[in-house]
């Protein structure tokens, strides 16, 4: 089976394609519609969006127009980071469904433990309220799995202590040089699947000599090596691109990395966004 069609099985038995197409920073309208359409055309069956990206309507339209049955595409969206109450979470979810023009989601995430303009603020009580609303949506059958994003072990502890369902997913920035060992180990221990956003370090990893040279030894591109690394680590990468050739390139993942190479890349502890 091609890697792009391969799946992880979440703790609740739901199958999630291992590689998702990310849509962060892809502007709403034609750019987003075309990128998602191309991703579906070239084999992606997992699309990641968020209310904060303001492109849910284009994502939904591209999925509908693709003609691919709804239940063959895994769709994720996220609760805006400033929403931290029960009723507002339920309302925001309905708005997201309306924007996407769908009647259910495959995965709904709390976008961040704090509002993006107040990073680090203590929102423990609000996160519990928001997650309890997500549990209701899950139990009502409106979403097939629920989780969080950008959560640290401490943020996860708070949810595990006060909620019934262990989040199925934690979506975090994860790439060579930023493999978030502590959070990843915590998630592994609890059966929480880690999704890797920005697997190319927003493109910065691609001009690094170590990555370029290792990619050559596998006869793949630096982008393919970066994405494959995330899979070798057991995470679900969410690469994004607005160019068809790159969207195709990023599906070329049918190679295996040697354990020693993965381990070597693990030793890089520098965020590539600061390299070069």
To the nearest whole angstrom, how small is the minimum distance from the Cβ of residue 253 to ligand A2P?
12
DSSP annotation of 206: G
E strand or H helix at 169 = strand 169-173
Rounded-to-integer distance, Cα 117 and Cα 62, Å: 31
Which DSSP symbol is given to 105?
A: B
According to CB under 6 A, which one of 56, 124, 195, 249 is a site residue for ligand A2P? 249
The nearer residue to ligand A2P, 22 or 147, going by C-beta atoms, is 22
Task: Say whether 8 is catalytic.
Answer: no
Q: Please tell me which residue in 44, 53, 108, 138 is annotated as part of the active site.
A: 53
The pair phi, psi for residue 78, each rounded to 5°, is -135, 145
Q: Any bridge partners for residue 48, and if so which?
A: 22, 76
CA distances from 85 to 82, 109, 214 (A): 9, 14, 47
Residue with tokens 């987003």: 32
CB 261 to ligand A2P: min, Å: 19
What's the min distance (Å) between Cβ of 97 and ligand A2P? 26
Provide the minimum distance between the beta carbon of 198 and ligand A2P in the complex, in angstroms, as a whole number: 4
Neighbours of 188 (CB within 10 A): 12
Spatial contact of 133 and 86, defined as CB atoms under 8 Å apart:
yes
Per-residue contact flags (x/-) with ligand A2P for residues 212 to 241, judged by CB under 6 A: -----------x---------------xxx
Determine if 202 is a binding residue for ligand A2P (CB under 6 A).
yes
Q: Does 248 bind ligand A2P (CB under 6 A)?
A: no
The residue among 203 and 234 lying less far from ligand A2P, judged by its C-beta, is 203
The residues in 16-75 that bind ligand A2P, with binding defined as CB under 6 A, are 22
Active site residues: 53
- In the complex, the residues that contact ligand A2P under the rule CB under 6 A are 22, 198-203, 206, 223, 239-243, 246, 249-250
């Amino acid at each position: 089976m091609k890697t792009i069609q391969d799946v992880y099985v979440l703790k609740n038995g739901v199958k999630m394609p291992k590689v998702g197409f990310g849509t962060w920073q892809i502007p709403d309208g034609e750019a987003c519609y075309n990128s998602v359409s191309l991703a579906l055309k070239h084999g992606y069956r997992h699309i990641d969006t968020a209310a904060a990206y303001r492109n849910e309507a284009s994502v939904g339209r591209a999925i509908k127009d693709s003609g691919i049955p709804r239940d063959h595409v895994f769709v994720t969206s996220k609760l805006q980071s400033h929403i931290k109450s029960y009723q507002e979470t339920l309302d925001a979810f309905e708005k997201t469904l309306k924007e996407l023009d769908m009647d259910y989601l495959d995965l709904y995430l709390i976008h961040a433990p704090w509002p993006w303009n107040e990073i680090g603020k203590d929102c423990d009580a609000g996160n519990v309220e928001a997650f309890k609303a997500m549990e209701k949506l899950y139990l009502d059958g409106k979403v097939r799995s629920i989780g969080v994003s950008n959560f640290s072990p401490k943020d996860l502890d708070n949810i595990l202590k006060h909620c019934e369902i262990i989040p199925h997913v934690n979506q975090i920035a994860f790439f060579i040089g930023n493999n978030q060992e502590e959070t990843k180990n915590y998630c592994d221990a609890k059966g929480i699947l880690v999704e890797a956003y920005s697997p190319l370090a927003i493109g910065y990893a691609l001009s690094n000599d170590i990555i370029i040279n290792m990619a050559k030894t596998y006869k793949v591109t630096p982008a393919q090596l970066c994405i494959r690394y995330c899979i070798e680590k057991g995470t679900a990468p969410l690469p994004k691109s607005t160019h068809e050739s790159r969207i195709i390139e990023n599906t070329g993942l049918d190679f295996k990395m040697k354990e020693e190479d993965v381990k070597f890349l693990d030793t890089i502890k520098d965020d590539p966004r600061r390299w070069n």
